[in-house]
Amino acid sequence: MTQEHISLTPQEVINLNAYPIEDTSTPEYAALVERLRAELDTRQYVALPDFIRQPAREQAVAQVEGILDQANHNRSDRNCYLHRKPDPSFPSDHARNIFHSASSRMLAADLLPLSSPLKTLYYWDNMKQFVAGIVGVDRLFDNDDPMQPVNALCYMDGDRSAWHFDSTNAFTMTLMLQAPEEGGRFEMVPNTRSDDDQCYERVARVMQGDTDDAVEVGREEGALCIFRGCNSLHRVSPVEGDRLRIMGVFVYENEPGVIGDPEVNQTVYGRRTAMAV
């Protein structure tokens, strides 16, 4: 059995020395969650460096590279609301009618092997409790869709993610598995809009290149990031070089039994149904 097919325990995947989440009853755990929740509430993002152990990261990278040819290549021009068609009810320079190119490659959960360290991390109950505490909810649940729960998002030379808001997610959680040679910077404009105000003029300025308010979130290899992308514009700058930029993407839910929309699966993964295993 090769290293890529060995299932690792949560203790072998997560750096529990830096992030003591194995025992959720300790004062150290409570203090860690309180600190990270305060950072998220203040900055709209929190980064956890060295969250995954090096051998687990290397195993995850090898697994992803081994099946990269099965990834769905998403290429589109879209506005920041993830729409692909202009809205004629607004002027051409309106935020809803400013389009940028995006390109990435997505490996769905059903393509990742059962031994993936990403799945070990995602399905560990302590991990769900830890994330719930950071984002300020009582409990989180697994996403039950065969494709959506845990993905590998890959960027090759020239790929990028255009400025956008996450549509309905209260938070987004990603793990940097491999950084590119150049580019691939994760940039964010915290609180670009609010629940009560779309702030169309400010959004349009960002889309047109006014990024003075943008912050670059450090994404060294092994770093976990939790951010609120629903009201904060964010993007990944173009990747340069032959080295893949590989991110693990995790989707938790506020209620059990959530299955994804087939239309969304078709758009993101290029298919509506799971691959036969």
Q: Per the structure block, which two tokens stand in for 121? A: 């991390």
**Four-way CATH pick for 3-269: 2.60.120.620, 3.40.50.300, 1.10.132.20, 3.40.30.10:** 2.60.120.620
Q: pLDDT tens string for the chain (277 positions)?
A: 566 678 999 999 999 999 999 999 999 999 999 999 999 999 999 999 999 999 999 999 999 999 999 999 999 999 999 999 999 999 999 999 999 999 999 999 999 999 999 999 999 999 999 999 999 999 999 999 999 999 999 999 999 999 999 977 789 999 999 999 999 999 999 999 999 999 999 999 999 999 999 999 987 999 999 999 999 999 999 999 999 999 999 999 999 999 999 999 999 999 998 986 5
Question: How many degrees, rounded to 5, is the angle at CA 277 between CA 147 and CA 248?
Answer: 35
pLDDT at 167: 78
* pTM for this predicted structure: 0.95
- Cα(41)–Cα(134) distance, rounded to whole angstroms? 9
pLDDT at 4: 66
**Residue carrying the six token digits 């149904």:** 273
Task: Please tell me whether residue 74 adopts helix, strand or coil conformation.
Answer: strand
pLDDT at 246: 98
Cβ pair 79, 97 in contact under 8 A: yes
pLDDT at 3: 64
- Cα(94)–Cα(103) distance, rounded to whole angstroms? 23
